[in-house]
Amino acid sequence: MFFCIGKFNFFNENIYKLNDKSNVNCVMSLKSDDPNYFAHLYNDSDRDKKYIKILDSTLREGEQHPGVSFSNKQRIQIAWMLDSFGVDQIEISPIVSLDHRDATKIILKQGLKADIVAHVRAIKSDVDVAIDCNASWVATYLGISDIHLSSKLRISREEAKIRALEVADYIKSHGLKSRFTMEDASRTDPDFLLDMCKEISNRGMERISIPDTVGIMRPRGMYNIVKFVHDNIDTSKTSLDVHCHNDVGLALSNALSGCEGGADQIHTTIDGIGERTGIPTLAETAVALNLIYKSNNDFRLHMLKDLSRTISEYTKIPIHESKPLVGDSSYKHKAGTHLAAILRNPSAYEIIEPKLVGNRRKIVFGELSGKNGSAYLLSILGLGASKDNAESLARGLKELRMGDILELYLDETLERKILNEGYMKTNKDKNGKS
Ligand code: HCA
Ligand code: CU
C-alpha cells in the first residue's frame, strides 16, 4: 500500500496541522500501515511462529542477587503481580529459610493461574520440603559439568547420575510434576549431558532446564546445545527450559536462540536481577516474544513499568535510566531531527508505544532541539511558533551552552493530538492514496 503524509506547516499557526491535500508531499511509502513491516520480514517473524512461555524466577534467582531479600508480604505480592501479568510459571525456593518455606506455602494456597515451582537441590530431604509445602511442581538442580562435579560436589559423573536418578524416582513416586536442571550444562561434556537428559526424560520428568550458568555462550552455541538435546530426547514427553546468565550481556539473545533450537520456556526475573549480573529481564523477554517473535502470549505488558518500580523499591536497586522499555530514557527523544519525526509520528523512533509497557514519552529540550523542537516548545508555551521565532530560540538554546534545559512529558492530550493529527489513516483510502 502506498502511503503519504501531508507536508507539515511547522512555522505557521499550528505546527501539527496538515496542509490541505493539494500540497501533499509524499514522504514515505510503506508496504503496510505497520512501520515495522520490513523488519518483521527480515526477522522471519511469520515463519516458525511458536508459543514460548516464561518462567519468572524473581523470587528464587532474583533473591540470589547481592543485597536482595524480600519480606514474605513482598514475596506474596510479587507472586500475585507476576500471575496477573501472565507468566506461565513462578519459581521460588522453599529451602532457603523457614520464612521462604512459609512464603511458598502461602503462595501455593493463593490459587494462582501460574504453576508455582519449588526450586530445590537434587536431594531427597529438599524434595521433602517441597512436598511439605504441598507443591505440585518441583525443580531440582545438580551441577553436572566436570568443574562442578570436582570443585563443588566432589563426586564422580557416575555418582551424580545415581543421585539424579534416585531423586527423579523419588519425585515421581510422590506424583509431582517436575523439572530437572542440568546446572552448568553449557560446560558439560555433550555425551554426559545427553545421557543424563535421556535418563531423566525416561523417568517421566516433564521438563529439563538447560542453563548457561556462567554466561559463556553465544547465541549460536545456545542454539546448538538445545537442538542437540531436543533432537535426541522425546520432547513430546519432556520439554526444555533455557536459563541464561548475563555475564557478557548475551542472556536474552542466547535464551531466544535456545528457543529456536527447541526450548519452549525462558527463565526471567523482573529487572534481570540474579546471581552476579542476573538473567534476562521479564520486560525485555515479554516484549521480544510478543512483538518480535510473535509468540501469542497473553501478557499484560502495561504492568511492566510498575513491576519494575515495585522491585526497585523493594530491592533498593535503582532502575538504570537506559534500561530497555522500563527505564526513564527509553522513551525520551532529544535530537532535533528525532523530535521533528516524533512529533509527526512517534513510530519513527519507537517500536512499541510507551503506554503499552506502562511507560511515558518525554521530550528533551536544549541545544540539540533545533528549529523543530523549538517551534514545538514555543507552541506549547502558547507563543508564536513562527519560523523566525523558532530559529532564534534554537540559536539561543545553543548559545546558552547548558546542554539540556528542560524535559517534558507529552501528556495524554498532547499525545492524542499528535497521534490523531500526525498519523494518516491509511484505511481511509483503500486504493492506497491519501
Ligand atoms: C542455581 C543455578 C541456576 C539454576 C537454573 C535452573 C543456574 O541454582 O543458582 O534451575 O534452571 O544458573 O544454573 O540458577
Ligand atoms: Cu541461574
Residue type, 9: N
The Å distance, Cα 353 to ligand 1 centre, comes to 34
Write the residue with the smallest CA distance to atom 4 of ligand 1: 183
pLDDT given at position 409: 87
pLDDT given at position 22: 34
The Å distance, Cα 271 to ligand 2 centre, comes to 14
Contacts of 103 (CB under 8 A, 6+ apart): 59, 72, 75, 76, 92, 94
Among 272, 268, 246, which residue's Cα sits nearest to residue 326?
272
pLDDT given at position 160: 97
Q: What is the DSSP string of 5-74?
A: -PPB-TTSS-TTPBPPGGG-------SSS-TTHHHHHHTTTTSS----EEEE-TTTTGGGSTT----HHH
Among 71, 73, 75, which residue's Cα sits nearest to residue 270?
75
Distance CA 336, CA 345 (A): 14
The Å distance, Cα 275 to ligand 2 centre, comes to 7
The Å distance, Cα 56 to ligand 2 centre, comes to 12
pLDDT given at position 115: 98
Q: Among the atoms of ligand 1, which is closest to the Cα of residue 243? A: 11
| DSSP strand pairing (404-409 vs 362-366) | antiparallel
Give me the sign of the Cα torsion angle 176, 76, 298, 285. negative
pLDDT given at position 375: 87
Residue list, ligand 1 pocket, CB within 6 Å: 61, 64, 139, 141, 181, 183, 209, 211, 213, 243, 245, 267, 275
Give the number of the ligand closest to the Cα of residue 143: 1
The Å distance, Cα 395 to ligand 1 centre, comes to 56
Give the number of the ligand closest to the Cα of residue 243: 1
Q: Among the atoms of ligand 1, which is closest to the Cα of residue 64? A: 9
Going along the chain from its start, the domains and CATH numbers come out as 2-43 (no CATH), 53-315 (3.20.20.70), 332-426 (no CATH)
pLDDT given at position 384: 79
The Å distance, Cα 344 to ligand 2 centre, comes to 44
The Å distance, Cα 363 to ligand 2 centre, comes to 38
Among 62, 188, 273, which residue's Cα sits nearest to residue 196?
188
Write the residue with the smallest CA distance to atom 10 of ligand 1: 181
User: Best mutation site among 55, 137, 140, 141 for ligand 1, i.e. most ligand atoms within 8 A of its Cβ?
Assistant: 141
Give the number of the ligand closest to the Cα of residue 274: 2
Write the residue with the smallest CA distance to atom 9 of ligand 1: 61
Please list the pLDDT of the chain residue by residue as tens digits (434 residues): 233 333 333 333 333 233 333 333 334 445 568 999 999 999 998 887 899 999 999 999 999 999 999 999 999 999 999 999 999 999 999 999 999 999 999 999 999 999 999 999 999 999 999 999 999 999 999 999 999 999 999 999 999 999 999 999 999 999 999 999 999 999 999 999 999 999 999 999 999 999 999 999 999 999 999 999 999 999 999 999 999 999 999 999 999 999 999 999 999 999 999 999 999 999 999 999 999 999 999 999 999 999 999 999 999 999 999 999 999 999 999 898 898 888 888 899 999 999 999 999 999 999 999 988 898 888 888 887 788 999 999 999 999 899 998 998 876 666 655 555 443 233 333 333 32
